[in-house]
Amino acid sequence: MAGNEAGQRDEVAEAGQVLAGDEAAQRDEVAEAGRVLAGLGLVTAFGHVSARAGSAMLITPAADLGEVTADRVVRIRLDADALPAGAPAEAWAHLALYRHRADAEAIARAQPPSAFAAGAAVGPGDGDGAGGPGGIEPLYGQAAWLGERVPVHDDARLLRSMALAEAAAARLPDGEALLLRGNGAITLGAAPGLAVARMWLLAAACQAFLAARAAGPVTPLSPAEIASWRAVSGELLPRLWHHLRRRPRGQRHGYDDAGETG
């Protein structure tokens, strides 16, 4: 009997070490994704990246993402009713999305300049071409990896309470990207790096939308075309993340290759 109990204790200890190792790896992923997000020029002093970690989430601290390391990543329970020291004040947005979306494994929060412009140009009820109703439709293949449409949350207040965060999360029942009018954007992914890759894609998609809309009538992708591109996102989106994380820091800011896929 004593031998069995000792064996069980060993198994529990080993399981704890595995879980601790998993969380350490997740912390590394979250921190790296934050640094890449900063290197892409999609955040300045503000922005964050998180990952679901069982009944909790791991999120970058309220700090310059370019300097974040794994040991500074903050752990918050998904059922938290208060934020711990060091957490960004908009961590509520991440918590609300993890509660609303069981499929959300990672989240990026950033402020691409093109997202500010597109969010202001397209209101929730805009019905003009690819900009309505209620968001932006994809104009090219990779933009479909953001969803069948990118909705706009029509409230520019910072998401610094669960009530405000819940209202924003309700605007994204499906899809992987949300524009926050006057307040940047949020993207989802199966891993922190994929959420960051989608933020880069969102910035490019907003640029393309604004340029096309200024030029004249806009022709978005058809439902069949969107479906065909979404079907290959699991294969191709990790390649984009690999490309973005390997770019030299000074070469991460352009979107010129956003339309190239092989």
Across the chain, mean pLDDT equals 88
Residue 131: the pLDDT is: 52
Give the least confident one: 56-60, 166-170, 245-249. 245-249
Question: Taking 90 as the threshold, does the pLDDT of residue 222 lie above it?
Answer: yes
Distance CA 48, CA 76 (A): 14
The DSSP call for residue 86 is T
Confidence band of 123 (pLDDT split at 50, 70, 90): low
Give the domains, in start order, of the chain with CATH numbers.
2-251 (3.40.225.10)
Question: Taking 60 as the threshold, does the pLDDT of residue 119 lie above it?
Answer: yes
Mean pLDDT of 119-126: 74
Structure tokens at 85: 């020291």
Structure tokens at 31: 């921190």
Q: What is the pLDDT of residues 104-115, one digit of tens each?
A: 999 999 999 999
Give phi and psi for 159, each to the nearest 5: -85, 65
Mean pLDDT of 70-87: 97
Confidence band of 19 (pLDDT split at 50, 70, 90): low
Which is higher by pLDDT, 10 or 54? 54
Mean pLDDT of 27-32: 98
Q: What is the pLDDT of residues 191-210, one digit of tens each?
A: 999 999 999 999 999 999 99
Distance CA 24, CA 68 (A): 14
Question: Taking 60 as the threshold, does the pLDDT of residue 262 lie above it?
Answer: no
Distance CA 205, CA 25 (A): 31
Do 58 and 73 contact (CB within 8 A), yes or no? yes
